[in-house]
Structure 1
Amino acid sequence: MSNSLGFLLILTLITGAESITTISKVAVKVGTSISIPCLYQPKYRGHVKYLCKGYYFSSCQYAIKTHSPENQEYSISDDKSQNIFNVTIKESTAEGSYYWCAVEIDNGGDVRKYFHLSFTRDKSSLYVTDQMVTGFIGENTTITCYYRAKGNIDWCKLGRTCIKDGLIDGITVNTDKKKDSFSVTMSGLRAGNSGWYYCVNGDLQMPIYLTVTIRPTVESTTVTAATESATIEDQKEDQKTKEDRTFPALLSLIIPLVSLILVAIVALLVLFRTKRAKIQDSSGSSNLKEGEVTYSEVSFKKNQALPVESDGDVTYSSVVIKKPQGGKRAKAKDDNETHSHHKQNV
């Protein structure tokens, strides 16, 4: 294995691998993800970057490229302001492997640098609780690396010299080594101190990304909250004013509408009663006509003075029309009845 590593080192030097800087060996627990920074020279900002998996670069397989930045196993991003592209290996399996950080070169050999990723069933021999750390301008921040193996402990910035105590990019670094942890305190942070750092324990490295930003103040938070509260109150007041203006307008429309409906109802009632009275009058008149009864009285007299032209009797009839005395109408075949009284004189 040592011969193979030596061969890889010689090969990378020959092919210009010094154009890329990254960690050399990292160990993580199975099932966790790990982000690896790859520092490149400014002249490669416009080039395609990629991660390649395999022991030999000539036969490695593409894992991820910057023009297709994510898949189920890997992701990649290019921070051109710092000339660093980051690769993330998601949910690591139990199989360790060699990887290559690489930059495509048109009409020439790609520049690259390898690193070895190994896995453990338990916690790694060198680890941190979080790879992403936030600090605030002008303040101090402390980063703790946990280790389990013997060996020297160092603190480094990617592409710079490693130190135990001293200055890195103009800020003071103090380290505190304990039995199983190594704390690094960085004082007087500035915005330019954002970037990738890493702990070193023996032949293992663990990268950490530090973001330096302005701390939100309590006053600004309070002012923001008060402003939001005032805005909400103003909105409520505006809504109430709109409701107050809307109600009279609705009332002015509702009152005439209700009045109109009442007038229509009264008119319908009057019309209905008028029609009903007419119908009743018409019905009474019809009943009176149907109830009329015709009475007739017939008397037979023999005229002594006139000569008789024939042997037959002469019949005289007088008809008197009388209304019936009772309330009930006598039943007859027709609606009117005729009563006749015959008186015959000989």
Structure 2
Amino acid sequence: MLQLFIFSLFTWIPAFLCGVTTVKDVAVLEGRSLKIPCHYEPQYAGYVKYWCQGRTREFCTSLARTDETSEAKDKISIFDDPVQLVFTVTLNGLKEADSGWYMCGVEIGGFWNADAVAFTNIKVIHGMSTLNSQLSGEEGSRVTAECLYSERYRDSVKKWCRSGDWSSCLVTDSEGIYEDTSVAISDDRTGAFTVTLKKLQMRDGGWYWCSAGQQKIAVQVSVTPRPTTTAVAAASVTPTPGSSVAHLPPPKAISKESWNSYGHILESLTVCSALIALVGLVILGRKMWKIRKQDPMRRRAEMKASYNGYSNDVCDLQDSAVVLLNKDSQDTHTHGVPV
């Protein structure tokens, strides 16, 4: 028994050498279809490929092979592309009971060689999903949300609601249709319904819910402003090939409004100049007034001092004259010359 256990481990070594690779976990809505890609190495291009259900090779139930026609080909099909080195398994109409482990395998053959395999875990769930949870459109255009639901909600009413306001819900009728001037809802009753927002407006941006029965999925709508006519015209102007000369715009003519603005500037400068001159005159007058306001006694003392100085000078001159006169007189008497 120990030898058989060791041998079984040995035979599975190639499975861990990445001979075949695939997705590890997959979730899909009940009633929907699913494609599983199984990639393999070039040396396995000519080998038989298979798809089976189970967690181990020994207990894996074969569901489809490339060398056989599947009995349930409407539900499971397998296709090998040796050029791209991938074989694809397609599963249709999945049920919750189909959830579990599956295996992509390349049949190597021989007693000493194990098959090259890769495992994937498929979960079939009921509820809702969407192909694109974020929609964006220009103001005035239209966008379409595709909301997917599982099979059990096929006959349920479908709703389109603004998030946070269930009173805003738009509900399909018995034929799965709703339409007004801004929104159209259409349910194909096969697992999907579409919601088309027509003539988008800026207020249409925000979060919404796709709803089927008690299930719902969030969708965000973003609206961008429509470009202005000026921006479109500027974008449509293309430079002439080979032209490298920059053309400056013609000078603007002086309008009445611009001339009036110049006049206001000149008036402001004139008023400022007049104010500066007036301030200068006030300062000069204040200095003159301070000079005239000095003590009168002080001014008289200064005038008297200047007068006395002048008088002393005169007296000195008189004295000098007298001396000279006496001197001359003495000379006259001395030399006998009459005066």
Bigger radius of gyration among the two: 1
Greater fraction of residues in helix = 2
Length-normalised TM-score, structure 1: 0.33
Length-normalised TM-score, structure 2: 0.33
